[in-house]
Structure 1
Amino acid sequence: MRITYIFIFVFICSLGTGLAQQTPAPKQNNTISIVGATAHIGNGQVIENSILTFEEGKITAIGASGDVDPSGEIINAEGKHLYPGFIAANATLGLVEISAVRATDDEDEIGTMLPHIRSLIAYNAESKLIESMRPNGVLMGQIVPRGGRISGTSSIMQFDAWNWEDAVVKEDDALHINWPGSFSRGRWWAGEDPGIKPNEEYQQHLRGLTEFFNSSRAYLGGDRKIKNLPYLAMESVFDGDKKVFVHVDGEREIQDVIQFKKDQNLDELVIVGGYEAHKISDQLKENNISVLVTRAHSTPDNEDDDYDLPYKLAKLLHNEGVLVGLQSSGSMERMNTRNLPFYAGTTVAYGMDKEEALSLITSNVAKILGIDEFAGSLEEGKDATLFISEGDALDMRGNILDKAFIQGRELSLKSHQTELYERYKEKYESQSE
């Protein structure tokens, strides 16, 4: 019996080790210089044969060889490429582990107007999915709740932490609104006629949203004797401390969002999705509205759209002077977030300059999220969140990471996927001998 108990104990311990994420890296305790790499700054600049030095988690120097002297531990990256860490905007990483297991799903709460719901405290830093982002260079993300008309408040996390307190780099950065559609599709399973038809409740939904904003302002300007958490959560929106991200695709709807921004006197508003944003790009630029475009690896929504519209949408908006970033929401979005660099690579195949495409997942996204003071590019004074790749990181063939750092801490690039790769690689290599 004693042997049985010992076996069970060892099995449980080994199971916990197999399921847990790797131990987060310790703080940087020595100066490190990366020498000889082609440095892609993230803002359109490239430095050949570069030297980048960082200490205590911050970049202290970067320049071409001869302009900067290396110090501390030297990492020889000759013939390789150096990039800022990629940033996954509008992600649900850490909120859902297995979609079919309800206990692991924290992305959606019951209700309609939920500005007080915070993704921050639901974030699971030990998610296996988060661990699998890092080997592709995705090192940070904006973690966003889903559901409701107002789904809640996002926060921005780095992907090497013990818990959400360690992971957060910007707390409660934005409020997220799911804008209603002016058209609806018939739900055959509910007995409705199939096909697309006008949404007769569209104006009613808009009035409800406007009434909530107006009621929140009235409450905040009153005595507040009765605590109302949704209204209290709106204070930082009205003060301008929190951005507003509106998830919307249609041309008419985006025009209504622009008017809503003016009516509600909102300083910073971001369009998420923006499938038809290119049709009114001039209005977006005029109103200083940036766009996180729909996933590049998508098919057209309408039968008369260009077949390659999702591939070139970022370029169309960029050409008109709109600040653009990429995001990966949609079917199997958590798993597909690791493909973020390849979405940027696809925009290159459809006309985008390669360094401008890189900015779609680095400096542009950092500006849109409001973290460009410390993230998004390889510049002196910013966080040493970066990685070395053997080749072009926007190409599946070249995105092979050699080393990666978050705030100067060197990461493990192993994951469940890399372990399986090594396991089956050994199997087939032994069979071919």
Structure 2
Amino acid sequence: MKKIIYSLMFFFLMININAQQTPAAKQSNPISIEGATAHLGNGQVIENSLIMFSDGKITFVGSAMMRIARIGTVINAKGKHIYPGLIATNASLGLAEIDAVKATRDFDEVGTMNPHIRSLIAYNAESKVVESMRPNGVLMAQITPRGGLISGTSSIVQLDAWNWEDASIKTDDAIHMNWPGSFTSGRWWLGEDPALKADPNYGKNIDEIKQYFLNAKNYLASNSDTKHIPYESTKGLFDGSTKLFIHASGAKEITDAITICKELGINNLALVHGEGADSVADLLVKNNVGVVLDRPHRNPNSEDDAYDYTYTIAKTLVDKGVLVCLGMEGQMERMNTRNLPFYAGTFAAHGLDKEVALQLLTSNSAKILGIDDKVGTLEVGKDATLFISDGDALDMRGNVLSKAFIQGRDISLETHQTKLWKRYSNKYRSK
């Protein structure tokens, strides 16, 4: 019996040992990176750059030709490229591990109105999916819940941590709401007409949302002794400290959502998905509403859209003055988040300037998420969250990382996948 117990203890110990890499230690020595082409994340590029950081913060950004003393460990990155850490917006990393195993999925909650649900406390810092982001330069993410009309609250994390407390960069940054569509289609599997038609319940669905927020607003103004936790959690929406991310597509839906939220006194807004946002770009600019676009590798939603609509929408919105970043919601979203830089590369291949495409993952994301004072660009005083790539980070042929740092910590680029790659590369190399 003792042998069985010891065997079980050893088995579970090995699972725990293999579950998570040890997060990198806090930066103890200054680091200077010289010679690389620095892409600052704000559209600017410095050839033959010098980047220095200490205690987790960037202390110098400039030309390596300047006569300035290098500090600490000097990394020669001549011929390589340096970028700010990429930010995955509207992602559900760490909230599910294996889509086919229900017990590992924790991204939505029972009920339709859940503004009080906090995705952060369900975030699994030990996820093997999360660790696979880092070798492609994805070092931060907005962890976002799904489901219902009001899904809950997202938080922003860095992707090398012991637990969710260590991971958090900004806690409870936004509440996410799924705006109803004005069209519906029949359930073909029940013999109903599958063609799109106006949804007769659209007005009723909108009234339900309006009434909920009005009730919350009245509750907050009443100073009631009875605590209503969901209503309590909406307080930031009305005082502007919490952003409302509206998941909506279609010109009518987007217009209705912004107009009604403004009427309710909810002014700090962002739009997610945004199919059709190009037709209401003036409304978005006027109300300072940033757009979190879906990844471009998909079919257009409407048969009236151009065949390359999903590839060119980023440039269209940028040219119209809309602040745009890139989100990850969709099929296989957690696993596909590692491809974030290559989705931006697709936008660049279809008319968007390469450095502007990079901004969709760096400075623009940071601005929309409200963390641009900490990350998003290579600037003095910001977190030293950055990486060195052998080539163009937006091209899978060039995105080969040699070093990555989160808040100055020299993180591991080894993952379960890279170990398997090396293992089987050796197998076939030996033949």
Fold shared per TM-score above 0.5: yes
Q: Distance in 1 between matches of 2:189 and 2:31?
A: 60
Aligned-pair distance for 1:101? 1.7
The reply to whether residue 384 of structure 1 matches residue 384 of structure 2 is yes
Partner residue in 1 for 2:77: 77
Q: Distance in 1 between matches of 2:406 and 2:84?
A: 10
SS in 1 for 2:236: helix
Partner residue in 1 for 2:361: 361
Matches within 5 A, 1:56-95: 56-67=55-66, 68-95=68-95
The reply to whether residue 205 of structure 1 matches residue 191 of structure 2 is no
Partner residue in 1 for 2:115: 115
Q: Distance in 2 between matches of 1:176 and 1:15?
A: 35
Q: Distance in 2 between matches of 1:412 and 1:366?
A: 24
TM normalised by structure 2 equals 0.97
SS in 1 for 2:430: helix
Partner residue in 1 for 2:181: 181
Matches within 5 A, 1:200-279: 200-279=200-279
Q: Distance in 1 between matches of 2:225 and 2:268?
A: 30
Partner residue in 2 for 1:193: 193
Check whether the contact 1:345–1:354 (CA below 8 A) recurs between aligned residues.
Answer: yes
Check whether the contact 1:314–1:324 (CA below 8 A) recurs between aligned residues.
Answer: yes
Q: 1:110 to 1:10 in 2, by over 3 A?
A: closer
Partner residue in 1 for 2:157: 157
Q: Distance in 1 between matches of 2:265 and 2:15?
A: 53
Aligned-pair distance for 1:11? 4.1
Aligned-pair distance for 1:192? 3.0
Aligned-pair distance for 1:14? 3.0
SS in 1 for 2:222: coil
Check whether the contact 2:237–2:268 (CA below 8 A) recurs between aligned residues.
Answer: no
Q: 1:30 to 1:216 in 2, by over 3 A?
A: same
Deviates more, 1:191-200 or 1:407-416: 191-200
Q: Distance in 1 between matches of 2:10 and 2:338?
A: 34
Query: Unpaired segments of 5 or more residues in structure 1?
Result: none
Check whether the contact 1:176–1:246 (CA below 8 A) recurs between aligned residues.
Answer: yes
Residue 31 of structure 1 aligns to which amino acid in structure 2?
P
Q: Distance in 1 between matches of 2:202 and 2:323?
A: 29
Aligned-pair distance for 1:296? 1.2
The reply to whether residue 426 of structure 1 matches residue 426 of structure 2 is yes
Partner residue in 2 for 1:301: 301
Q: Distance in 2 between matches of 1:12 and 1:364?
A: 43
Check whether the contact 1:390–1:400 (CA below 8 A) recurs between aligned residues.
Answer: yes
The reply to whether residue 98 of structure 1 matches residue 93 of structure 2 is no
Aligned residues: 430
Q: Distance in 1 between matches of 2:84 and 2:305?
A: 35
Residue 303 of structure 1 aligns to which amino acid in structure 2?
E
Matches within 5 A, 1:277-296: 277-296=277-296
Check whether the contact 1:52–1:70 (CA below 8 A) recurs between aligned residues.
Answer: no
Q: Distance in 2 between matches of 1:410 and 1:73?
A: 12
Aligned-pair distance for 1:416? 1.1
Partner residue in 2 for 1:53: 52
Residue 65 of structure 2 aligns to which amino acid in structure 1?
G
Partner residue in 1 for 2:331: 331
TM normalised by structure 1 equals 0.97
Aligned-pair distance for 1:3? 6.6
Check whether the contact 2:117–2:151 (CA below 8 A) recurs between aligned residues.
Answer: yes
Partner residue in 2 for 1:30: 29
Aligned-pair distance for 1:170? 0.3
SS in 2 for 1:116: coil
Deviates more, 1:3-12 or 1:295-304: 3-12
Partner residue in 2 for 1:145: 145
Check whether the contact 1:121–1:164 (CA below 8 A) recurs between aligned residues.
Answer: yes
Check whether the contact 1:51–1:69 (CA below 8 A) recurs between aligned residues.
Answer: no
